[in-house]
Chains A and B, each alone.
Chain A
Amino acid sequence: MSTSMKWFWFASPQTFFPLAGTLARWSGVLAVLLALAGLYVGFFVAPTDAQQGEAYRIIFIHVPAAWMSMFLYVVMAFWAAIGLAFNTRLSGMMASAIAPTGALFTFIALWTGSLWGRPTWGAYWVWDARLTSELILLFLYLGFMALQAAIDDPRRADRAGAVLAIVGVVNVPIIYYSVKWWNTLHQGASVSLTRAPSMASTMLTGMLLMALAFWAYSIAASLVRVRCIIRERE
């Protein structure tokens, strides 16, 4: 088998099916271990915040969930675009498999943000650029799922969903940069690639462990769901 053929080998749902099962199992185990480590660091190692007291401990799920909500949308739109361009069956299935988990993390980011906003800003919700664009992200996920559910033919549903997913990807940089572009109540990024993180290193460790845990969880959940979709369609 030539190298290029090997790449196409796993693009077939039947050959991907067993691989997805193995990957899902290991990702699930990894997610549990990382979450236990992250929660331990978050609650027992990271110190009390000088300004916010204990309420800041919501950060260990809020920031990782918000990252996942945006990252999963980009991955979903990527698979949708590949499916639209090359008409590969598995790509559309991957996009459909990621959407519910992405919507879930978007909801978690909004929910935990609201419970964090109340003790720090005095309000559960404000129509601020960051919060509003994240709410639009939730509607994009739900719209994608509703559109696909409304079309009976799965290949047509994939193509229609792909167009929506690709158009909606413009919202992701808006969410990310909203705290810079507009005056918002939401604080700026605590962690960025261009400068040192503005938080205690143990806090950062806890947050990164939880981010990796959510990452592993998302891989596991999406792969289990794509296996269901393969079984249902083929």
Chain B
Amino acid sequence: MNWGGWAEFWAMGGKGFYVWGSYAVTFACLAIEIVLLRRRTREAKA
């Protein structure tokens, strides 16, 4: 286990902005693609 608690986990040794900025944008991009694919599937079926 690497972390003394949640605060330490989110701080990422002071590099939280870079680490979470990477992960947040990555998963947001994937989520947007999934939403767009769902919409396209719905429209293609119609």
Interface residues of A (CB under 8 A from B): 43-44, 46-48, 53-55, 57-58, 61-62, 65, 100-101, 104, 107-108, 111-112, 115-116, 118-119, 217, 221, 224-225, 227-228, 231-232
Q: How many A-B residue pairs have CB under 8 A?
A: 74
Quick one: which of A62, A100, A224 contacts B22, CB cutoff 8 A?
A: A62
What is the interface residue range for chain B against chain A? 20 to 34
Interface residues of B (CB under 8 A from A): 1-3, 9, 12-15, 17-19, 21-23, 25-26, 29-30, 33-34, 37, 40-41, 44-45
CB-based nearest B residue for A24: B37
Instruction: Say how far B29's CB is from chain A's closest CB, in angstroms.
Output: 6
Report how far A55 CA is from B20 CA in the complex, Å.
10
Report how far A173 CA is from B41 CA in the complex, Å.
35
Would B33 and A100 count as touching, CB distance under 8 A?
A: yes
CB-based nearest A residue for B30: A217
Would A55 and B2 count as touching, CB distance under 8 A?
A: no
Residues in B whose Cβ lies below 8 Å from that of A108: 25-26, 29
Would you give 30 A-B contacts (Cβ < 8 Å), ordered by A?
A: A43-B2, A44-B1, A44-B2, A46-B2, A53-B13, A53-B14, A53-B15, A54-B12, A54-B19, A55-B12, A55-B18, A58-B18, A61-B22, A61-B23, A104-B29, A104-B30, A108-B25, A108-B26, A112-B26, A115-B17, A115-B18, A119-B15, A119-B18, A221-B34, A221-B37, A224-B37, A225-B37, A225-B40, A227-B44, A231-B45
